[in-house]
Amino acid sequence: LSELEALMERMKRLQEDKEDEEASQEEMATRFEKEKKESLLVISGGIWAFPVQFSFDDEIVSTDVSRYVEDPGFGYKDFARRGEDHLPTFRAQDYTWENHGFSLVNRLYSDIGHLLDEKFRMVYNLTYNTMATHEDVDTTTLRRALFNYVHCMYGIRYDDYDYGEVNQLLERSLKVYIKTVTCYPERTTKRMYDSYWRQFKHSEKVHVNLLLMEARMQAELLYALRAITRHLT
């Protein structure tokens, strides 16, 4: 099977498995922890912490960002060290954008919550119902996996989501790309962009980038707004 056909087959199988039997809460929690720990293996420079068949170090361009920021040393750091047994988890059910963050940010800055919510929904729901040359395809499962994997990298867990879907739908090269774009965007290269979903249209791959950026923004807002809520109460 080609990469595209294999992905579509996995999506179909996931849907059939979900209809037949749902995973238990314990199983879903275990799968989340596995994905969360695995995301820490994707290290700076766009490679994995264990041997794989590709490396993008040779294409990383050192960009002088000091002209754009006051602190050029400021950047992303993993929320936990590799090798730690107990990694922190932000349970989305305890503080969600819809039930908590939206109302608080609207209170702090009138109507900004509506604008942000519209942006999140528009990017998340955007679809032409296509996958490369295939039409009338429901891409909901794939879009949800991309969005939730970014939140997983930030330690955010949705109790009602089976993270086994992430592992089945997102291959290693795509996970490398996701972490690089989300956490180290200045290190993203065209070779990394070309390395995943080779049969997909550019518009579809650009949509992936939009999903990653909106997921990252929402994750950052959730942490910030939860801290403000705790301070206010």
Residue with tokens 């799968």: 31
Side chain identity at 36, as an amino acid letter?
K
Contacts of 225 (CB under 8 A, 6+ apart): 95, 100, 101, 104, 105
Beta strands in 59-117 (DSSP E): 90-91
Contacts of 87 (CB under 8 A, 6+ apart): 33, 36, 37, 40, 79, 80, 155
What values do phi and psi take at 79, rounded to 5? -70, -10
Three-state DSSP class for residue 134: strand
Predicted confidence at residue 40, as pLDDT, reads: 81
Q: Across 34-38, 46-50, 106-110, which has the greatest mean pLDDT?
A: 106-110
Determine what percent of the chain is predicted with pLDDT higher than 90: 60
Mean predicted confidence (pLDDT) in 200-219 = 96
Domains of the chain: total: 1
Residue-wise pLDDT tens digits, 56-99: 344 444 456 667 777 767 777 776 665 666 778 999 989 999 99
Q: What interhelical angle do 25-39 and 140-153 show, nearest 10?
A: 60
Predicted confidence at residue 39, as pLDDT, reads: 85
Domain range enclosing 94 = 1-230
Q: For 71-75, 151-155, 183-187, 221-225, which range has the lowest pLDDT when averaged over its residues?
A: 71-75
Three-state DSSP class for residue 143: helix
Predicted confidence at residue 16, as pLDDT, reads: 84
Q: Rounded to whole angstroms, how far apart are CA atoms 92 and 32?
A: 13
